[in-house]
Amino acid sequence: MNVLVVGANGQVGKLLVNLLRDNKEHTVKAMVRKEEQADALKKMDIEVSVACLEQSVEDIAQAARGCNAIVFTAGSGRLTGYDKTLLIDLDGAVKTIEAAELIGIKRFIMVSAIQAHRRENWHEKMLPYYAAKYYADKMLEQSELTYTIIRPGGLLNEPGTGMITAADDIRSGKIPREDVANTIIQSLTEENTYYQSFDLVAGNVPIRKALTLL
């Protein structure tokens, strides 16, 4: 697959782009919002599209042309206000879904947040963020896309182990970002993840096997 990574300048996005660049089964196109971010990626021989999630559906669709899968791993970040959470994590995600539908891309992987599907377990200090994730995920589920929604736990900046726990309802846990990125890659063609959503934390089952057990 030729995979568009939306949010390629984020921490998971950067790992994902690098792993896909070296992957024998897939190619990658990175979507970033600034020219200077694009320049750094081009120096690494990575194909880049410059587009902002606050632009139009057509602009995002143009960035995605030539791809047959999209991974949405963008986020507004902790330093922005809830206005950006609404515009990026919710509306930006939905516009990307609409862009995929517009140009006929069927495969779509959404990186969400652990327990986003259960309101009663949302972190009280992050309610707007969880609400954005919840409704973006719902819109994806109601689309015509072949979706997978991955809801990772607390993200760690440490080497991945290749071992995870993936299930519909995991109340808490953490996981290295590298393992999230590798789970995304394995999910691209693992048909058992199609039309599935799951929480994801560190565990003791190899990634490929864990995905077949969902």
Q: Which amino acid is at 46?
A: I
**Nearest of 63, 65, 29, 25 to residue 45 by alpha carbon:** 29
CA 90/CA 35 separation, integer angstroms:
24
CA 176/CA 162 separation, integer angstroms:
9
Q: Is 129 one of the annotated active-site residues of the chain? A: yes
Q: Are 150 and 117 contacting, i.e. CB atoms less than 8 angstroms apart?
A: no
Helical axes 11-21 vs 177-189, angle rounded to 10°: 50
Instruction: Say which of 129, 130, 134, 147 is annotated catalytic.
Output: 129
List the Cα angle 73/4/169 in 5-degree steps. Answer: 35
CA 45/CA 38 separation, integer angstroms:
11
CA 154/CA 77 separation, integer angstroms:
14
Question: Tokens representing 173?
Answer: 């846990």
- What amino acid positions are annotated as catalytic residues? 129
